[in-house]
Chain A
Amino acid sequence: MYDMKALYEAESVSDAIRLRLEHPEAQIIAGGSDVLVQMREGKRAGKELISIYGINALRGVSIDGDEALRIGSLTSFSHITRDPLIQRYINVLGEAVDQVGSPQIRNIGTIGGNTCNGVTSADSASTLHAYEAIVELTGKNGVRRLPIKDFYIKAGVVDIRAEEGEIQTAILIPKASYENTFGHYIKYGMRNAMEIASLGCSVNVRLSPDKKTIERCRIAYGVAGPVPMRAPSAEAIANGSALTEEMVTEFALSVLSDINPRDSWRASKAFRQHIAVEMARRALIASIEKAGGVIA
């Protein structure tokens, strides 16, 4: 039995916006795999809830007019993993969210909930950062789109404006971001299931047509700081470089200039730094191999 004050069920996006404006203190709930856990712990006890879970228009993956990949915010992890468009254009995202918790959690958990929860360990977050995803928010004044790096404000806080009645409606991956791009995600956990990432690392590359050099490399981490983050120094080393072992090593080592993991009882800073380098190395090698490149 959950300690909630009231539950409002939105039937459409406009209905959700109306409810949000009427109940500005209410908590939005989608699949509930984060919110209900927090309520059980007493953190959100006694709150009003607005459920958007019934809004089917927010489910599914499609290609929009700009050829951007559009992922409805209520699309579950298991549907993302099995979606043909995801598999074709951004398979790494499907692989990443397939490492969330357990089959049950992946069936109920949504990508919108995963990002709106605002935690650095979310398995979708590093890949969405590495692909420069766009977050679509819909409120009383229409649609607002912002880069995912601006969506995350600080640990547990994202840019959704309750006073505007906003809810997250989609996550977009622009064509320029996914085209000819191949990525790899490594989740580092203490066990192989039911796990929260000690560190997550997502790398993707686009190779030159002759597959000899990296045209563009992007790398992002979860749990390397309070919010998911890119590693620009490492990217600068890889961009335009030939596929050599030396480049891979230099790339991997340079992530330490960018990331800022913390000491906690879950893992020490020194351990996370050590692992971050090795993960960068392995994820870059795997991305290059997926793109058809051969490291000399």
Chain B
Amino acid sequence: MVVGNSEVRVDGYDKATGRTKYYEDRMPAEALYVRIKHAEKAHAIVKSIDTTRAEAIPGVVKVLTCFDVPNIPFPTAGHPWSMDPGHQDVADRLLLNRHVRYWGDDVAVVIAENEVAANQGVRALAVEYEELPFVLDAQEAMRDGAPQLHERFPGNVLKHTASRLGDYGAAIRKPGLIKVEGTYDTPTVQHAHIENHGCFAYAENGHIVVVSSTQIPHIVRRIVGQALGRPWADIEIIKPYIGGGFGNKQDALYEPLCAWCSTQVGGRPVRIDCSREETFVSNRVRHAIRIHIVSWLNPDGTFAARKVELYSNQGAYASHGHSIVAKAMGSFPQHYPCPNMECDAWTVFTNRPAAGAMRGYGMPQASFADESNIDDCAKAVGMDPLEFRRRNIMPQGFHDNFSGNTNYFDSFRVCMAKGAALIGYDEKRREYGHDTGNIRRGIGLATFWYNTAVYPISLETSSNRMQLNLDGTVTMQCGETEIGQGADTAFAQMAADAIGLNSYRDVHVISCQDTDITPTGLGAYASRQTYVAGFSIKQTADILRGKILDYANEITRQAVSNMDIRGGNIIRRQDGSVLMSLKELAMTAQYNPVHSEHITAESTYTIRNNAYSFGCTFAEVEVDVAMCKATVKRIVNVHDCGNLINPALAEAQVHGGMSMAIGYGLSEQLLFDPKTGKPLNNNLLDYKLSTVMDHPDLEAAFVQNPEPTSPFGTKALGEPPACSGAPAIRNAILHATGVAVDRTPINPHVLFAEFSKASLIHDVWQEKEGSKNV
């Protein structure tokens, strides 16, 4: 078996030696530079743009403005196309905008022969605006009289959905209930992948080719076609290796604009390379979601009723829209089943950067709110938070009718037990939490709910192509994309086992997707790659095996049913004897003068399953009260993501997510000037991404319950590691200090305010200052 081994990444050597080619490494030398003029207003109408100074700069080829673009609104979300118009994404974008809806919106481009001239050209543009009032907060944007962003969405509400269970109103009238209420706020954050988004476009044989740093080449082809008003088949998207995405590149970003710019200069190659500052503001961000929870507890610590209201800050454009908060809302009734629930979710336009997909897709927000409230509930009834969860969390056998998912293995309780044992939860819960000095220690935990892929909300399809090479190896193309997570390696391992090859090195995965060549897949999102690719790999391998054995039957005269492929050889089942190697078979088949055959297989599998993927985080913190700082001393994640295809890569995946969760919990936040709406910290100095110096060793553990719906027993692991870290840290700080912080990031500014409020900081100097002023 190759699956289950910690194999070295198929792209490891090339990446370590710098040989791997990213979009910039494939750049035609003659490509023109496109630089974008971003609006310096949060909400305005562009009255005019004077381009004369820019056009006079040597090297400037062309200036295009919001007055030049076609009036074709298009959607950008990296969702599968739906044949049902009611299910299609909101088309609210133009290539360049006269109606500026956030600080950083695109109003013009300068195309130049070099970067310096392009930058000078952008600085030389004179834009005249009619300023409009703006709004940055989702709930403020819902109020009467708030500034309006989109004509089609009066009141700024993109969508409102609700779910009801039992009778909340009646249930809360029961006497003796304990009410635990909180409003939990999460910030706007950005993916901050290493490679900024960029792309280049050119014309070739009547096609427009776009080479892009994207997670979703086949979806981007459709969106570029829509935006330019051209048949989708006119567009060819090529996706080379990319330096991370985390969901930001699960959107059409600047591919449509780049393709259009090329058409405006006669099909010459043009490039758009986002700077880090642009990536923070003018790509996508994570939705800031405010979640109000009212929990009504029976005296025994079980839930009588719960009300959950979620306000999701969409920013200026719809992008993934309501999908994110809908997923977040959907978790509540499943995560902690409760007989009486009222849940409402609103997605609201504001004058912030557009929010899209980001690792976790609503769950880091939902987990922070739900798991904070759970600890608050445990405290209110005087119960240990782990025990409270054991009593209330989703039971084994729980079945969700919508997704068809079943909690087959009691995953939550098993993961919590493993994590508690690893970190020594019981002892530390007793030992910590009593410090009275400046340094206070605490331990906390949080769990997360997740599911795999997007069935049944959207189409799940996976296509795969295999060809038998003359040396007995197999070349494979998948529509699922390698974005740094190690997908190609997992695919190679699964294919090796499914075909019967000796090693995953005998599978050559063509990493680059070219939509003119690669079988259609939907790309990297929803933690779905390994799960969905598994189906088409297994199905296509079976077809390939059938063709190989049919040919082997011609040569060996053995019945197909009596043969198998194992370790790269055709063997006879009855005695295990090797009949011939795959290499011999391939050579014979190819060069047989009577019956020559290039053995290939291709198929598409429509996945109509989903799978729960659960886990938890335990975190140990040390709080320096006077310095208003919390430090994570130890952190453990436990995941039940089914069978591990590659344990080393799975562990790496978890480490990355944990690092993101620490930043989400303690330091990361995109800030906006309340007076102007201008982003304040859209750079890697002022945006406090957590560094390796800010976290302890990251510990990942697994519970391997094989997922029954998957041919390889696997399910989601891409996003889950980012979901439960922040609330675990929050709950550990609560244990250490008694202070419940209901917002992230829990940075020193927040702790200063909270500790002051709780009188933990004894401000003698303030008294002294006060007396002096008197």
Contacts and interface: CB of A to CB of B under 8 A. Distances in A.
Interface of A: 1-3, 42, 45-46, 188, 190-196, 198, 252-253, 256, 265-268, 270-271, 273-275, 277-278
A194 B685 CA distance: 7
Contacts of A268: 749, 752
B765 interface: yes
A277 B748 contact: no
A277 B119 CA distance: 45
A45 B116 CA distance: 9
B765 A256 contact: yes
B499 to A, nearest CB: 46
Interface stretch (B199-207, B286-294, B388-396, B689-697): B689-697
14 contacts: A3-B116, A3-B120, A188-B627, A191-B693, A192-B691, A193-B692, A268-B752, A271-B628, A271-B749, A273-B765, A274-B628, A274-B761, A278-B626, A278-B627
Contact of A190 (B114, B688, B765): B688
Given A1-B114, A1-B115, A191-B693, A274 B752 contact: yes
A266 B748 CA distance: 11
Interface string B656-682: 000000000001000101000000110
B690 A191 contact: yes
Nearest to A252: B765
Nearest to A270: B752
Interface in B754-774: 761, 763-765, 768-769
Interface secondary structure of A, over-half rule: loop
Contacts of B692: 193
B120 A194 contact: no
Given A193-B694, A194-B691, A271 B685 contact: no
Contacts of B628: 271, 274-275
Contacts, number: 71
Interface secondary structure of B, over-half rule: loop
Nearest to B748: A190
B15 interface: no
B769 A256 contact: yes
A196 B683 CA distance: 13
Interface of B: 114-116, 119-120, 123, 626-628, 667, 671, 673, 680-681, 684-686, 688-694, 747-749, 752, 761, 763-765, 768-769
A233 to B, nearest CB: 12
A7 to B, nearest CB: 14
A253 B769 CA distance: 9
B752 A193 contact: no
B765 A193 contact: no
B491 to A, nearest CB: 35
A263 to B, nearest CB: 12
Contacts of A273: 765
A13 B115 CA distance: 34
Given A1-B115, A45-B123, A265-B681, 10 more contacts: A2-B116, A3-B116, A42-B119, A193-B691, A253-B765, A265-B673, A271-B628, A274-B752, A275-B627, A278-B626
Contacts of B627: 188, 275, 278
A54 B671 CA distance: 40
A2 B684 CA distance: 20
Task: Indicate the member of A42, A190, A198, A265 with the most B CB atoms within 10 Å.
Answer: A190
Contacts of A271: 628, 748-749, 752
A42 B671 contact: no
B120 A277 contact: no
Contacts of A256: 765, 768-769
A248 B604 CA distance: 74
A198 B627 CA distance: 12
B669 to A, nearest CB: 10
A277 B765 contact: yes
Contacts of B686: 196, 266
Contact of B694 (A45, A192, A274, A277): A192
